[in-house]
Structure 1
Amino acid sequence: MDRRRFIGSSVAAAFGCSLPGRLLGIESDKGWQRLFDSDASRGWTFFQEGVGNSDLHNAVTVRDGVIHFLGSHYTGTDAAPGHISTKKSWGNYHLRLEYRYGLDRWPPRKLQRRNSGILYHMGPETDRLFPNCVEFQLEEGDVGDAIMVDTLALMGPSLGGTPLWPNWIPAFPSTYQEPIVSGGIQRQWHKHAGEYERMDDWNTVDLYAFNDQAAHLVNGRIVTTLFKLATRDKNGRTTPLTAGRIALELEWAEIMFRNVMIRPLDAVAVASILKRGSD
């Protein structure tokens, strides 16, 4: 399959069928599906700052099942950040994907760490830079961090170096860390525990998101846990944050994604996780 522009192209050959779970390192085939639709332009949106909602410069292409951001095919004069996002809102799910960085980096981050992220629990509003969301950070050295963009969470305390999961203990503090305000955006930054990323190879990351909590895994290890996910209005009232769109971020660095899989978690699966820590 030749390289093709993301929006308006058919990627049925790359995403039209489901691979067996055993080929993806997934314990069971049950319930897993590709998050990409066979027609990417139907199931996903594109956004790049200063460019808009059409991929005019081949910022995102798909070849042999690999989603490629800002590679040699990119024709833009700079590499302003953006993302591709599902049109559908997701709640109560287990997301799994693989990512690997390429070599190209773009000003003003030509000498900085390569950076990207998974954005989740995004709202239904029109795509824009820095949408309200939770970011599963994929920046080199910070993989697994959680950045709360105009959202809130309590970070699971580290118990013997391992983030608390899956049940919140009522004895722990329940006051949200006050966000840092910059550029009109409020952010909390919750740091990961443990270094498991591979700098120049494929990495597998997992996101468990159900009810108002989430866990970030890097190559099979939990590194960050979040509880009591919420939004807060101008009057200080909080509302649980339990669902939203999912996005993959492009941010001044070449990066590739593959095997982007998701499985819904029903009430039985959630109960099993709360009891056993996995499902």
Structure 2
Amino acid sequence: MMRTWALLLLLPAAAAPAQESLEQARAVVGGTSGAPQRLMVADIPPPAGRPRMLFDGHSLREWQPWLGYADPSITYKADPGAAPIGTGRDTSGDFAVRTVDGEPAIWIRGETWGSLVHTADLRDYHLRLQFKWGARTYAPRQALPQNNGLLYHTHGRPGEVFGTWRPSAEFEIMRGSTGMIVMVGRQMRAHSTAGVDPALIAPHLRFRTDGRVVEMVNGTPTWNVEAARDAEKPVGEWNTLDLYVLGDRAIHVVNGVPVAEVRDLAVIAADGSRTPLTHGQIQLQSEGAETWFRRIMVEPISRLPRIVVARD
């Protein structure tokens, strides 16, 4: 139940009644089951060039901060009645480099929503980082599972999405849902494969390799596809995330377990034309929970790994 309410807070509009939303999901994917699969990653690509550290261990050089509203509870309102903070204050109390577990890491306070955006324009890469949760959570999510995110193929203007983030695809970082695929921004589109899992809230869609193709559109009944399963470690332990991106396709891996695959990432213009999204920056979110990030590395690749179903 806790996880259900956490997901509801991610929705910019009220969720449909449970039975109605479940019927919508079944209309999208038919009778395909969304029961968790046991997946493995195979044929991991070798690096096609030299690796690059995106965090130097000393500073936030090359990372650009942006803060949303002073009161995060107004973030999803059609008319918040206030301007985002943006870069209008010292952000050293929101983002900093600190030592934890004997090693430097990026500390994100989480109280004010926003993000750190790296300046590099990335394409065709393997990104690896480690994260763990801190002790603090903040309103309006202080009683809910921790929530954050790794956003990629970032583009557009600072604060373009709800005054707080930039358009992108999201590798969700949330207890119970790390690796979930989310479209950040109404103009974002992508496809994945999913089945119906009634145990989830709307849109009740869980990634499956044998699922039906789903187009994800923010603000619609197919706004996300949940991770294949929960592969996160207990709170207090470090988790390793691997993001493999090649052109308009991506694979999300949590602690060595592939949990999602997305393809046909694109931006839809006002006239309805579709432009493939093949590159962009990354964002580390601040979204209500204290979070640590370290060992952020990227290396070029020329192909994606494969996701295979483990046979018992």
- Aligned residue type for 1:228: D
Q: 1:250–1:29: structure 2 CA closer, same or farther, 3 Å change rule?
A: same
Q: What does 1:133-148 correspond to in 2, within 5 Å?
A: 133-148=168-183
Q: Contact 2:192/2:214 (CA < 8 Å) preserved in 1? A: no
Tell me the residue number matched to 1:211: 247
Distance between the aligned counterparts of 2:268 and 2:212, measured in 1?
18
Residue 102 in 1 paired to residue 134 in 2?
yes
Letter in 2 for 1:180: G
Tell me what 1:168 maps to: none
User: How far did residue 114 of structure 1 move?
Assistant: 0.6
Decide which moves more: 211-220 or 43-52. 43-52
Is residue 154 of structure 1 aligned with residue 191 of structure 2?
Answer: yes
**Equivalent residue in structure 2 for 1:195, among 224, 230, 246:** 230
Secondary structure in 2 matching 1:176? strand
State which of 273, 284, 296 in structure 2 corresponds to 1:260.
296
SS at match of 1:180: coil
Q: 2:281 aligns with which of 238, 245, 251?
A: 245
Whole-angstrom distance in 1 between the partners of 2:217 and 2:157: 25
- Does 1:70 find its partner at 2:109? yes
Query: Could you state the TM-score of these two structures normalised by the residue count of structure 1?
Result: 0.72
Query: CA offsets, 1:165-186, max 9 Å, x none?
Result: 9xxxxxx9767355425xxxx9
Instruction: Report how far residue 237 of structure 1 moved.
Output: 1.5
Deviates more, 1:53-62 or 1:34-43: 34-43
Contact 1:89 1:243 in 2 (8 A): yes
* Alpha-carbon distance between aligned partners in 1 of 2:288 and 2:168, rounded to the nearest angstrom: 20
Tell which deviates more after alignment, 99-108 or 148-157: 148-157
Following superposition, the deviation at residue 93 of structure 1 comes to 0.6
Q: Residues 251 and 157 (structure 1 numbering): CA distance in 2 closer, same or farther, change over 3 Å?
A: closer
Contact 2:190/2:217 (8 A) holds in 1? no
In structure 1, which of residues 33, 46, 51 is the aligned counterpart of residue 52 of structure 2?
33
| Aligned CA distance change for structure 1 residues 101 and 57 (closer, same or farther; 3 Å) | same
Q: Give per-residue Cα distances to partners, 1:164-218, cap 9 Å, x unaligned.
A: 49xxxxxx9767355425xxxx982111102210131111011011111000000
Tell me how far 1:61 sits from its aligned partner.
Answer: 1.5
- Measured after TM superposition, the shift of residue 163 of structure 1 is 4.3
What secondary structure, in the 3-state scheme, does the structure 2 residue paired with 1:192 have?
coil
- Displacement of 1:30 in angstroms is 6.4
* Matched residue, 2:271: 235
State the AA in 1 paired with 2:269: D
The answer to whether 1:46 aligns with 2:83 is no
Determine the C-alpha separation between the residues in 1 that align with 2:129 and 2:274: 31
Structure 1 unaligned segments of length 5 or more: list them.
Answer: 1-26, 72-78, 166-171
Among all aligned residue pairs of Structure 1 and Structure 2, give the percentage whose two residues are the same amino acid. Answer: 29
Gaps of 5+ in 2: 1-45, 70-84, 196-205
Which segment is superposed worse, 217-226 or 146-155? 146-155
- Structure 1 residue 44: Cα displacement: 1.4
AA in 2 matched with 1:153: A
Hey, which bits of structure 1, 4+ residues long, moved more than 6 A? Answer: 27-30, 172-175
1:251 offset after TM fit, Å?
Answer: 1.0
Query: 8 Å contact 2:183–2:217 — kept in the other structure?
Result: no
Q: Give the whole-Å Cα distance in 1 for the aligned partners of 2:178 and 2:107.
A: 19
Give the number of aligned pairs: 228
1:98: how far off?
Answer: 0.5
